[in-house]
Structure 1
Amino acid sequence: MKKIIVVFTLLLMISCNSQGKRPLVGVTEYQQKLNANYKDASISPLKKRDLKKFKGLDFFPVDSTFIVTAKLIRTANAPTFEMATTTDRKPLYKEFGKLNFKLKGKDIQLTIYQSQDDLRDEKYKDYLFLPFTDNTSADQSYGGGRYMDVMLTDIKKDDTIELNFNNTYNPYCAYNDKYSCPLTPRKNHIDLEVTAGIKDFKK
């Protein structure tokens, strides 16, 4: 009888703990992971006052029409250049190539970049950087544009790559002006409303 009581008590404790643990906020795994990172005080870009009341980032509804296949045209012998940022910092980048795709019936071309600083970091050496603005910028989304990470390993043998605009994020400057963030080049403007991915942060 005592064994039964002990087992029942343990099960009750486990049940209470699992019920008390709040689930991660977000519709997709990407959103949940991003929210978890922003909730973690040790790595979050949020200011202390914003972190205290943080419940989750705002996203547009997930929309499969904003998942496209792009053709990559690699840029040969691209020079290293200093990318403009929100501060005096000038990180080194190279143009990796041009991405050509159709979005909502429009022909779009975006330039994708490779950070030369990240090449020295084992964790980020396979990352490519895709910043863009669109017709929601400075309205529903952050005025400085949004970012998308693309992995070298995601590029297929025929130089095509899937771009998922649902999986975008804001520069840290959208949350805290102490950060230095690359400015989106003007040529990377999409002349339509990209109503997918991260929205502007309401402080």
Structure 2
Amino acid sequence: MKKLLLLAFISFLSCNSQGKRPLIGKTEYQQKLNASYKDASTSPLKTSDLKNFKGLDFFPIDSSFIVIAILKRTENAPIFEMATTTDRKPLYKEFGILKFTLNRKNHELTIYQSQDDSKDEKYKNYLFLPFTDDTSGNESYGGGRYMDVMTTDIKKDNTILLNFNNTYNPYCAYNDKYSCPLTPKKNHLNIEINAGVKTFKKY
């Protein structure tokens, strides 16, 4: 009898595991991003888009878009109002300039620190890296993409790893009810960044 109960329990677990859908995505980052967009409590998607959402569209993973950047911190940077897609003007400060080589060309991006985030214990180590590139408005979102960088990831020699495979769209790419920072013109890369999230395709 005990043996039969054990077999029934194992069968029950097996059926449950088979019925559970695996997370969609090639990497842990993609899986977590898709999971948050699938969850109605955290998703920026409109209700009509969420209903048939299967997963975000990503460029293929490409290790050539993982680079080491050298950070030159900006001393005594003034606080300024960042332009957004609405009338909201959040306060930011230039944290520094990131210089790196990609496809045998030298590039640089300005990285910022939100003044609201710097006062929040949960987000105080977050830095904001927005950019546009030559795919913007075509294969990727026209308003640019974002990358989260942590101050804790900056090495003692002021180098930091940038993984463009882990870039994402602002919420405005999915729902115009959100207010999103606009990518500064100086943060345009004259290169195609064929990595990260693509333009959102509605189902």
TM-score range, shorter chain: over 0.9
Quick one: distance in 2 between partners of 1:195 and 1:101? 17
The match for 1:171 is 170
Quick one: distance in 2 between partners of 1:79 and 1:38? 35
The answer to whether structure 1 residue 183 and structure 2 residue 191 are counterparts is no
Quick one: distance in 2 between partners of 1:177 and 1:146? 16
Aligned amino acid, residue 143 of structure 2 = G
The match for 1:147 is 146
3-state SS in 1 of match to 2:143: coil
Q: Residue 21 of structure 1: CA displacement?
A: 0.2
Identity of aligned residues (%): 74
3-state SS in 2 of match to 1:190: coil
TM value normalised by structure 2: 0.99
TM value normalised by structure 1: 0.99
Quick one: distance in 1 between partners of 2:168 and 2:192? 16
The match for 1:100 is 99
The match for 1:115 is 114
The match for 1:157 is 156
Gaps of 5+ in 1: none
3-state SS in 2 of match to 1:14: helix
Aligned residues: 202
Extract structure 1 runs of 4+ deviating beyond 2 A.
none
3-state SS in 1 of match to 2:166: coil
Q: Deviations over 1:58-83 (max 9, x none)?
A: 00000000000000000000000000
The match for 1:6 is 5
Structural mapping, 1:14-163, within 5 Å: 14-163=13-162
Gaps of 5+ in 2: none
Quick one: distance in 1 between partners of 2:79 and 2:173? 27
Q: Residue 121 of structure 1: CA displacement?
A: 1.2
3-state SS in 2 of match to 1:149: strand
